[in-house]
């Protein structure tokens, strides 16, 4: 099982090979053995009854979820964007701020992200809502924001799960036009929509899923299309596995070495060619049927002129996903999310209250620094819990489609570590300011600067190990309402008292130093804590990427 979309981006289209998905180790297969290829410039409809696995397939295509079996390759390097079935209004941002964050996450420089957001807000008739908090928007307006976040950076793969639902007529038309523009620019757009007429004339392939299996791969021929007899030629693209073309499908020629064939056949013959391909054993996958030639390559395309001269459309970004890998952008988004959600308040109040109870003015400096560092460990673990559960799942999915689920998780962990680190520095400074610069005997002098440095290092050990504990005892590794809280508390306590733990060593170094007045720098403990924290963060990110549950 491998998702090497970025690595394979230089190759042809998006490709699924033997893709299967089940939820849980023994759950039923929601999808099984799904295989098809989507060339650049395709508009693909996925259809099927409720619960048949359409959303599951779309999440896999968007890179938000991973298949349990099989692999996805060829995800375009120029960016993937996803509109989830249900977008959450429960984000603590105003519209423009959220969209600017998402533009940056999708690889645009901040200024371009804001320009792009304004452009699309204007196009969807939402310019007046730029400063409105998301949680004050109507359902339909919120859905427009959900759509806009996906359109910001000219995605080369756009995945739309019922994106039209809840939009008014005008907005539906804008989204229809935006989809056509992306496809004309060579992007791949995959969508699910309950209206069978949705973009029917432009759709290049329809994939129907039922009872977990891709039962049909068929071209989209709708009433809105010109009747075959009216068109001079029909371009047909299909993928096999290197088998010879079946009788009746003559005229199609190999494209590259991937088993794909393409050809223009007289319109009156197209049905017979399609029937021959689908009736072959095993059947060929029809990847496109259209009455005009497709664009050759997938490149982000130019935007149409904006409706008002005041707004200029941003230049199509070249390779935004590469820039989106800048971790700072993701961590900034997570920090803003955390600060605006106010969920940082409980750990902060807890830390402040317990510090106030345990630290008295004039007490020996090193002992107080040890107390402050020890207290920080459970606070850091708690902050991780807040950060990894703070973002609504659908909002996380939008971010994950741009940068991958692992990076999204790593950013949440990093944001927690930053907040705990700031708290640790502030705590160390306060302790250094109010404590007595002496040992436990009240006579031996303790130098404030070196002691504060040792205290800050011990606090850093606590931040790192608290972050590791939080990463290992919260989703995705530990799920449920009660278990993560219990395991976080028990693990944080254990890490503080178990002999040999870096946190125990760092705190003990300060407390024993307080008896003699000697300052010990916990260098080894700090290095060990950094290694443990990195390993835990990687495990947590790995588990998210594997959809471990
Ligand atoms: N996170 C999950 N955990 C467990 N089961 C899930 C999960 N997500 C989806 N399923 C199950 O997988 C099956 C397919 O769900 P999916 O949402 O992909 O179907 P769908 O075709 O999009 O349905 P609808 O048309 O109602 O939106 C359903 O039985 C659903 O209960």
Q: How remote is the CA of residue 518 from the centroid of ligand 1, in Å?
A: 61
Specify the 3-state DSSP secondary structure of 403.
helix
Q: Is 127 exposed, middle or buried (0-12, 13-18, 19+ CB in 10 A)?
A: middle
Both structure tokens of 191: 């969508």
Q: Does residue 117 lie in a domain region?
A: no
Q: How many CB atoms lie within 10 A of CB 471?
A: 30
Using the structure block, give the residue that is written with the tokens 């223009």.
264
Q: Which atom of ligand 1 is nearest to the CA of 209?
A: 21
Tens of pLDDT, residue by residue over 125-162, are 999 999 999 999 999 999 999 999 999 999 999 999 99
β-bridge partners, 14: 38
Q: Which amino acid residue places its CA nearest to atom 4 of ligand 1?
A: 23
Where is pLDDT greater, at 77 or 329? 329
Nearest alpha carbon, ligand 1 atom 2: 23
Task: Report the alpha-carbon distance of residue 247 to residue 280 in Å, rounded.
Answer: 9
Range of the domain at 480: 325-545
Distance 40 CA to ligand 1 centre (A): 28
- Give the tens place of pLDDT for each residue, 165-224: 999 999 999 999 999 999 999 999 999 999 999 999 999 999 998 765 554 454 444 434
Among 81-95, 119-133, 236-250, the range with the most confident prediction by mean pLDDT is 119-133
In this structure, the answer to whether residues 275 and 336 fall within a common structural domain is no
pLDDT at 7 over 50: no
**Which ipTM was obtained for this model?**
0.97
Determine, yes or no, domain membership for 270: yes
Within a domain: 311 = no
Helix H, strand E, coil C: the string for 516-545 is HCCCCCCHHHHHHHHHHHHHHHHHHHHHHH
Report the separation in Å between the CA atom of 56 and the middle of ligand 1, taken as the mean of its atom positions: 6
Instruction: Please identify which residue in the block is written with the tokens 């309950």.
Output: 194
Highest mean pLDDT among 12-26, 56-70, 262-276, 320-334: 56-70
Of 532, 477, 475, the C-alpha closest to 500 is 532
Same structural domain for residues 278 and 420?
A: no
Q: How many domains does the chain have?
A: 3
The percent of residues above 90 in pLDDT, for the chain, comes to 70
Q: Are residues 246 and 333 in the same domain?
A: no
* Residue 162 alpha carbon, nearest atom of ligand 1: 27
Q: Which residue's CA is the closest to the ligand 1 atom numbered 17?
A: 55
In this structure, the residue with its CA closest to atom 5 of ligand 1 is 23
CATH code (residue 43) = 3.40.50.300
Alpha carbon of 215 to ligand 1 centroid (Å): 17
Ligand 1 pocket mutation pick from 19, 21, 23, 85 by most atoms within 8 angstroms of CB: 23
Q: Are residues 500 and 433 in the same domain?
A: yes
**At which residue do the structure tokens 């929601």 appear?**
30
Task: Of 5-19, 397-411, 423-437, 441-455, give the lowest mean pLDDT range.
Answer: 5-19
Please, what is the average pLDDT of the chain?
86
Same domain? 203 vs 231: no
Which atom, in ligand 1's list, is nearest to the CA of 56?
A: 18
Residue 1 Cα to ligand 1 midpoint, Å, equals 21
Nearest-atom number in ligand 1 for the CA of 59 is 18
- For 428, the token pair is 């160390």
pLDDT for position 277:
78
- Return the residue whose CA atom lies nearest to atom 9 of ligand 1: 56
Point out the least confidently predicted range of 41-45, 210-214, 370-374, 456-460.
210-214
> Which of 269, 290, 311 finishes a domain?
290
- Specify the range with the lowest mean pLDDT, choosing from 51-55, 246-250, 270-274, 386-390: 270-274
Looking from the CA of residue 23, the nearest atom of ligand 1 is 4
pTM for the structure as a whole: 0.80
Give residues (CB < 6 A) around ligand 1. 23, 30, 48, 50-56, 85
How sure is the predictor about 13, in pLDDT bands with cuts at 50, 70 and 90? confident
Residue 265 predicted with pLDDT over 90:
no
In the predicted structure, residue 226 carries a pLDDT above the cut 50 = no
* Residues 230 and 329 grouped into a single domain: no
In contact, 541 and 407? CB cutoff 8 Å? yes
User: Three-state DSSP class for 435?
Assistant: coil
The model's pLDDT over 352-395, given as tens digits with 9 standing for 90+, comes to 999 999 999 999 999 999 999 999 999 999 999 999 999 999 99
Last residue of a domain, one of 264, 290, 316: 290
Specify the residue with its C-alpha closest to ligand 1, atom 24: 50
Decide if 376 is inside a domain: yes
Six-digit token pair at 260?
């794909």
**Is residue 6 one of the residues assigned to a domain?**
yes
Q: What is the pLDDT of residue 309?
A: 30
Residue from 19, 20, 56 to probe ligand 1 pocket by mutation (most atoms less than 8 Å from CB) = 56
Task: Read off the pLDDT band of 12 (50, 70, 90).
Answer: low
Which of the two residues, 546 and 306, has the higher pLDDT score? 546
Kindly give the number of the ligand 1 atom that is closest to the alpha carbon of 52: 21
Identify the band that residue 91 occupies on the pLDDT scale cut at 50, 70 and 90: very high
Show which of 210, 239, 258 is a domain's final residue: 210
Q: Both 250 and 380 in a single domain?
A: no
Residue nearest atom 8 in ligand 1 by C-alpha distance: 56
β pairing state of 69-73 and 43-47: unpaired
Whether residue 74 lies inside any domain: the answer is: yes
Give a yes or no: residue 439 inside a domain. Answer: yes
Judgement on whether residues 155 and 247 belong to the same structural domain of the protein? no
The verdict on 456 and 510 lying in the same domain is yes
Indicate if 266 and 391 belong to the same structural domain: no
In this structure, is residue 220 part of a structural domain?
A: no
Do both 484 and 342 map to the same domain? yes
Claim to verify: residue 206 and residue 231 sit in the same structural domain: no
């Amino acid at each position: 099982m491998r998702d090497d979309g970025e690595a394979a981006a230089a190759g042809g289209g998006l490709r699924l090979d033997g893709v299967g998905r089940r939820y849980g180790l023994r759950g039923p297969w929601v999808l099984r053995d799904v295989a098809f290829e989507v060339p650049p410039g395709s508009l693909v409809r996925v259809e099927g009854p409720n619960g048949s696995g359409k959303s599951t397939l779309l999440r896999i295509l968007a890179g938000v979820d991973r298949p349990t079996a099989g692999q996805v390759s060829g995800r375009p390097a120029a960016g993937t964007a996803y509109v989830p079935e249900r977008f959450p209004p429960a984000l603590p941002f105003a519209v423009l701020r959220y969209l600017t964050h998402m533009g940056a996450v999708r690889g645009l420089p901040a200024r371009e992200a804001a320009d792009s957001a304004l452009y699309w807000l204007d196009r969807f008739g939402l310019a007046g809502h730029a400063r409105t908090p998301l949680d004050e928007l109507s359902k339909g307006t919120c859905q427009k924001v959900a759509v806009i976040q996906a359109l910001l950076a000219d995605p080369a793969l756009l995945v739309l799960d019922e994106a039209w639902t809840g939009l008014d007529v005008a907005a539906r038309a804008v989204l229809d036009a935006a989809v056509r523009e992306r496809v004309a620019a060579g992007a791949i757009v995959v969508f699910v929509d309950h209206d069978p007429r949705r973009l029917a004339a432009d759709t290049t392939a329809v994939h129907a899923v039922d009872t977990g299996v891709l039962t049909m791969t068929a071209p989209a021929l709708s009433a809105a299309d010109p009747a075959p007899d009216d068109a001079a030629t029909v371009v047909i693209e299909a993928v096999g596995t290197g088998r010879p073309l079946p009788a009746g499908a003559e005229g199609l020629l190999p494209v590259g070495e991937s088993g794909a064939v393409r050809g223009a056949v007289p319109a009156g013959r197209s049905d017979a060619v399609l029937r021959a391909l689908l009736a072959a054993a095993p059947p060929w996958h029809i990847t496109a049927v259209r009455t005009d030639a497709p664009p050759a390559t997938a490149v982000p395309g130019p935007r149409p002129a904006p409706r008002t001269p005041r707004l200029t459309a941003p230049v199509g970004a070249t390779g935004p996903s590469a820039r989106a890998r800048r971790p700072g952008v993701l961590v900034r988004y997570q920090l803003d999310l955390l600060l605006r959600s106010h969920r940082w308040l409980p750990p902060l109040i807890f830390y402040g209250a317990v510090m106030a109870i345990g630290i008295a003015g004039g007490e020996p400096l090193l002992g107080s620094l040890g107390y402050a560092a020890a207290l920080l460990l459970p606070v850091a673990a708690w902050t991780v819990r807040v950060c990894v559960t703070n973002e609504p799942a659908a909002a996380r999915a939008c971010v994950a489609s741009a940068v991958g689920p692992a990076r999204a998780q790593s950013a949440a962990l990093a944001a927690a570590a930053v907040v705990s680190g700031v708290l640790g520095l502030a705590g160390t400074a306060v302790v250094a300011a109010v404590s007595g610069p002496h040992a436990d005997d009240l006579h031996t002098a303790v130098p404030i600067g070196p002691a504060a440095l040792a205290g800050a290092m011990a606090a850093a050990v606590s931040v790192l190990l608290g972050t590791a504990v939080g990463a290992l005892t919260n989703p995705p590794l530990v799920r449920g309402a009660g278990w993560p809280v219990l395991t976080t508390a028990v693990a944080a306590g254990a890490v503080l008292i178990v002999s040999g733990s870096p946190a125990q060593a760092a705190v003990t170094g300060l407390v024993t130093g307080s008896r003699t007045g000697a300052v010990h720098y916990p260098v080894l403990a700090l290095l060990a804590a950094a290694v443990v924290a990195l390993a835990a963060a990687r495990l947590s990110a790995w588990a998210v990427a594997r959809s471990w549950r």
